Amino acid sequence: MADFSSSFDMPSAGSSENAEAAELQRLIAVEQQKAQFQAQVHNFTDVCWDKCMDKPSSKLDSRTETCLVSCVERFIDTTLTITNRFTQMVQKGAH
């Protein structure tokens, strides 16, 4: 245990707990990223449903499917456009 901790330059007390905590942090970060993705999908679906769905039918037709895909892409484009332009505005000293 002492050899292990000294070769990695970590505090000698509880080095196995450090490794365990670090690994746990990494695994949780992965799950957090997945959860953030899911949350965004919920938001996009909410917005794009209103834009693209007419009367609920027995199947998702290709026109609606195309609309949903475009909706996601254009929403992201809009977000980027707004972010970039806003950054420029702030840099120019606009209030």
Partner 1 sequence: MDSFGSDFSSNSSSGKMDTGTIMEQVKVQIAVANAQELLQRMTDKCFKKCIGKPGSTLDNSEQKCIAMCMDRYMDAWNTVSRAYNSRLQRERARI
Positions touching partner 1 (CB under 8 A) are 16-17, 19-20, 23-24, 27-28, 31, 34-35, 37-42, 44-46, 48-49, 52-53, 55-58, 60, 64-65, 68-69, 71-73, 76
Angle at the Cα of 53 from the Cα atoms of 65 and 42, rounded to 5 degrees: 80
Nearest to 52 by CA among 40, 65, 42: 65
Are 68 and 88 a contacting pair, CB within 8 Å?
A: no
Nearer to partner 1, 78 or 89 (CB): 78
For partner 1, the closer of residues 82 and 90 by Cβ is 82
Rounded-to-integer distance, Cα 77 and Cα 66, Å: 16
- Minimum CB distance to partner 1, residue 94 (Å): 28
The token pair that represents 27 in the structure block: 């695994």
CB of 8 to partner 1, least distance (A): 15
Distance in Å, CB of 25 to partner 1, minimum: 10
